[in-house]
Amino acid sequence: MTGLSWTPVRVLAATECGRKDCCGAHAHAWVRVEAWSPKRAFLTSAVPFIQAAGVPHGELAGLAFMAELDLTAPPGNSDTAGERLEWPGLQIAPSIPAQPGGTPTVQLTASTLMPTGGPEVDQERARRLARALAPGALSVKTVIIPRTPPGKLRPRHTQGGHTYKADGDKEAATALYLRRAFRQPWGGNLAVGAVFFRPDRQRIDGDNLLKHVLDAGNGICWHDDAQITASYPVIELDRHNPRTVLVVARHVSTMDRSDVTPKHPRGRKAG
């Protein structure tokens, strides 16, 4: 299954509604979701924001929240007078303290990064992992792959001298889950974090597990894994629910990868 993307939501203004037909609540809020539209404000009920922040509607203006939104399906432009929008997973956005030089920093420990619990807290794990790798990223994708995380195998050689992928079937299976989350590959610099829940204590390193995912995502999540300028693999034990919690986020780096373009299939020339 795939997780929804979480993205920042900022409240521009909130006020008493004055009429019940505007959004079905006593107060409404004008909010902005940069990932939907950097210019447009959306009218919605203020109730979920009041509940998430624990403050009266008059104190909502200027507050930043996070919600698990489908970034590929923003609301249409036909109704700007009272959209009944839903805000799954709405919560106050975590504050990111600024260093003297202005660069955001996040202080996390292993226990806060990987909270205890089963699959029910995987989305929270993904949020914290993305926040540590790419603070303030507006675009984040979470993918849950419910099977034993496979490692990367070395290529095999036939007696005739041909080379083939020994783990091609497993890579293709991982790619199926990734295609459900990514309609097209992302360009530019990216950060990738993964929590690999293994069913046993077999010795396998995190880089090997991550390499399998990076290769499977080529041409699906990104054009080439050279775009990955931040990565963090974690290995955990879960005998009953082996799985991979994968998070992909936009990343800011001086090692600019905006020039990485799609590869042409072998045997074909660029037209």
Contact residues for 134 (Cβ-Cβ < 8 A; gap 6+): 140, 191, 230, 249, 250, 251, 252
Provide the pLDDT for residue 229: 94
Task: State how far the Cα of 47 lies from the Cα of 53, in Å rounded to an integer.
Answer: 10
* Neighbour-count burial of 206, counting CB atoms closer than 10 A to its CB (0-12 exposed, 13-18 middle, 19+ buried): middle
Q: What is the pTM of this model?
A: 0.59
Please identify which residue in the block is written with the tokens 């390193």. 205
Provide the pLDDT for residue 39: 80
Domain ranges of the chain: 2-92, 118-250
Strand partners, 140: 249
* Contact (CB, 8 A) for 152 and 95: no
Provide the pLDDT for residue 80: 52
Which parts of the chain have pLDDT scores under 50? 1-4, 96-106, 164, 266-271
The CATH number of the structural domain formed by 118-250 is 3.30.1330.70
Provide the pLDDT for residue 137: 81
Give the 3-state DSSP-derived string for the chain, with helices as H, strands as E and coil as C.
CEECEEEEEEEEEEEECCCCCCCCCCEEEEEECCCCCCCCCEEEECHHHHHHHCCCHHHCCCCEEEEEECCCCCCCCCCCCCCCCCCCCCEECCCCCECCCCCECCCCCHHHHCCCCCHHHHHHHHHHHHHHHCCCCCCEEEEEECCCCCCCCCCEECCCCCEECCCHHHHHHHHHHHHHHCCCCECCCEEEEEEEEECCCCCCCHHHHHHHHHHHHECCCECCHHHEEEEEEEEEECCCCCEEEEEEEECCCCCCCCCCCCCCCCCCCCC
Q: Give the closest residue to 193 by CA, choosing from 137, 229, 233.
A: 233
Provide the pLDDT for residue 270: 40
Q: Give the closest residue to 213 by CA, choosing from 144, 155, 114.
A: 144
Task: State how far the Cα of 128 lies from the Cα of 199, in Å rounded to an integer.
Answer: 23
Task: State how far the Cα of 194 lies from the Cα of 235, in Å rounded to an integer.
Answer: 8
